């Protein structure tokens, strides 16, 4: 049985969901089972998952509320599994040019859990985004799509490689 990975995400405008889908697609290509799901609709237990990736859009320096709540709600089960976190936010090329450190919400989670890695990807804000401020940003020409799918897929491949390696080790030692 391949390892099963949950890719849970918190999104307001949908762009983080698309990142989660891309991560899940790479994991599947690597021979794992991967479910991208909105963090708010994940079942009460993570028992069927061997590893978890959690991502959230950034809003005013905070991780999306659904991603924060997900970490709280599943704290015990997450502590017993390898966890990867990602954020999606900057509306410029900065995330492709350098490491953007985690926001405090994420930093705190990293202190509590066995987080293998956190990464910040560029964000996306386009016509039709929800909220007055979002619409102002777009109207002022400060929106755009800064998601770097090459970087996203490379990060997912690293996760896949780690999980496939441990899968093989489990089999050879069992």
Ligand X SMILES: Cc1cc2nc3c(=O)[nH]c(=O)nc-3n(C[C@H](O)[C@H](O)[C@H](O)COP(=O)(O)O)c2cc1C
Binding site for ligand X (CB under 6 A): 11-16, 57-61, 88-91, 123-125, 131, 133-134, 137
Antiparallel, parallel or unpaired: β 4-10 and 83-88:
unpaired
Going from the C-alpha of 146 to that of each of 89, 93, 100, 117, 143, the distances in angstroms are: 9, 6, 14, 21, 9
Yes or no: say if 21 and 50 are a contact pair by the CB < 8 Å rule: no
Q: How far is the CB of 66 from ligand X (least distance, A)?
A: 10
Task: Give the residue with the Cβ less far from ligand X, 2 or 90.
Answer: 90
In terms of CB distance, is 71 or 163 closer to ligand X?
71
Rg (CA), the chain: 16
Dihedrals phi, psi of 5, to nearest 5 degrees: -120, 130
Give least dist CB 48 to ligand X, A.
25
**Minimum distance between the CB of residue 118 and ligand X, rounded to whole angstroms?**
14
Nearer to ligand X, 49 or 59 (CB): 59
Shorter beta-carbon distance to ligand X: residue 134 or 164: 134
């Amino acid at each position: 049985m391949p390892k099963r990975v949950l890719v849970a995400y918190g999104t307001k405008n949908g762009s983080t969901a698309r990142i989660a889908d891309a991560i899940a697609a790479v994991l599947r290509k690597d021979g794992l089972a991967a479910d991208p799901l909105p963090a708010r609709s994940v079942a009460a237990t993570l028992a069927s998952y061997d590893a978890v990736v959690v991502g959230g859009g950034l809003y005013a320096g905070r991780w999306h509320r659904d991603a924060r709540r997900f970490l709280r709600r599943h704290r015990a089960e997450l502590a017993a599994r390898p966890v990867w976190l990602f954020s999606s936010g900057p509306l410029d090329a900065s995330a492709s040019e350098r490491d953007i450190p985690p926001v405090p919400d994420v930093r705190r989670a990293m202190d509590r859990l066995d987080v293998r890695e956190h990464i910040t990807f560029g964000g996306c804000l386009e016509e039709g985004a929800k909220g007055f401020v979002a619409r102002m940003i777009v109207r002022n020409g400060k929106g755009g799509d800064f998601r770097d799918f090459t970087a996203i897929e490379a990060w997912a491949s690293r996760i896949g490689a780690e999980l496939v390696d441990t899968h093989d080790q489990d089999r050879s030692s069992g």
